[in-house]
Every structure is written in C-alpha cells, then in structure tokens.
Amino acid sequence: MQVVLPHPVRLPDLTDLREFAADLGVRQETLQLFREVWAQPESHDERRRELSRYAGARYKELRHVQARTTSAGYRVQGGAASVRVWEDGVPVVASVWIGEGDPLYETETGPVHFTGPEGEAVALAAVGPVAWSEGMRMAANLHAGRIVDEDGERA
C-alpha cells in the first residue's frame, strides 16, 4: 500500500490544520504538516528579489557549508547545494552556489536557481509551489549556518 501526502505548501488553511493537529496531540515521525514552508510572492519582481534573500552567507571554510549541506540531506555537486523535488510529476532541481575548490578556503553562498529535468533553467513563472518552498527552505538552512563577525552580528 502506498500513502501519498501532499506537501504542506499545497494545503489550504495550513495554519488551521496545524492548530487542529496540535490540539489533537498529533505526532509525526516524518515532519510534514509542521514542515517549514515558503510561499511564492505574488509578483515576478518580488520572486526575483526573494531568490537572493539568503545569498551572501559567508563560511570560514568551504568544508563547513558542504558538511551543513549534506547533514541536512541535500546534495553537493559541482560547487552547488541542491535538492530535487517532483512538481506535478516533473523533476525540478533547486540549487544554491556554495563554492568549489580548496575545502579550507572561505566561501559565500549564491542565490537560488531552478533547473528542469535536462538541466535547463526554469522560468520563475513556471516554478511550482513545492519546488519554490523546498529551494527557499534549503537556502534558509544554509544561510542560518553562516559565520558571525566579532561584533556578534551575522555576516
């Protein structure tokens, strides 16, 4: 028997569902209903800005961001962290540049990019809600691990 659960970004009234589940004391072995989601902004310009929201996260060493990437379950390939998701039956890859070369060198993350099954760029208007949410989730995760400067501020 196969059970298919929708991605929470596709659930209408997600906040109400989460509250109801919490009231019932629902516990999940696999985070799904309470998974963080990122909704797509309405306008094309807002979407374009959001792609760079988590870019510029500095890491003292490339190996640190590589370790964070793999420990979160993402793939490292060709200088990028990536996650492949299925959007309406089509594979879409969300990726973030993390750097390549000597793993002891400092690096900085780039914006989120989306590619289709043949490696072609996916137009922003064609990026579905699941791919968007998972790509932004990955970028936010990598951003959260960035280095902190001497003043205690995140760099």
Q: Which of 72, 86, 76 is nearest to 31 (CA)?
A: 72
Cα-Cα-Cα-Cα torsion 51, 56, 58, 63, nearest 10 degrees, comes to 40
Q: What is the pLDDT of residue 108?
A: 97
Encode the chain in three state secondary structure. CCCCCCCHHHCCCHHHHHHHHHHHCCCCCCCCCCCCCCCCCCCHHHHHHHHCCCCCCEECCHHHHHHHHHHCCCEEECCEEEEEEEECCEEEEEEEECCCCCCCCCEECCCEEEECCCCCECCHHHCCHHHHHHHHHHHHHHHHCCCECCCCCEC
Residue 155 has pLDDT above 60, yes or no: no
64-89 residue pLDDT tens? 999 999 999 999 999 999 999 999 89
Binned at pLDDT 50, 70 and 90, residue 114 comes out as very high
8-58 residue pLDDT tens? 777 777 677 667 777 777 776 666 666 788 999 999 999 999 999 999 999
Binned at pLDDT 50, 70 and 90, residue 61 comes out as very high
Q: What is the pLDDT of residue 60?
A: 96
Instruction: Tell me the two tokens of residue 7.
Output: 């991605």
CA 13 from chain center: how many Å? Answer: 22
Q: What is the pLDDT of residue 113?
A: 98
Q: What is the pLDDT of residue 7?
A: 78
Binned at pLDDT 50, 70 and 90, residue 116 comes out as very high
DSSP element (H, E) containing 90:
strand 90-97
Binned at pLDDT 50, 70 and 90, residue 1 comes out as low
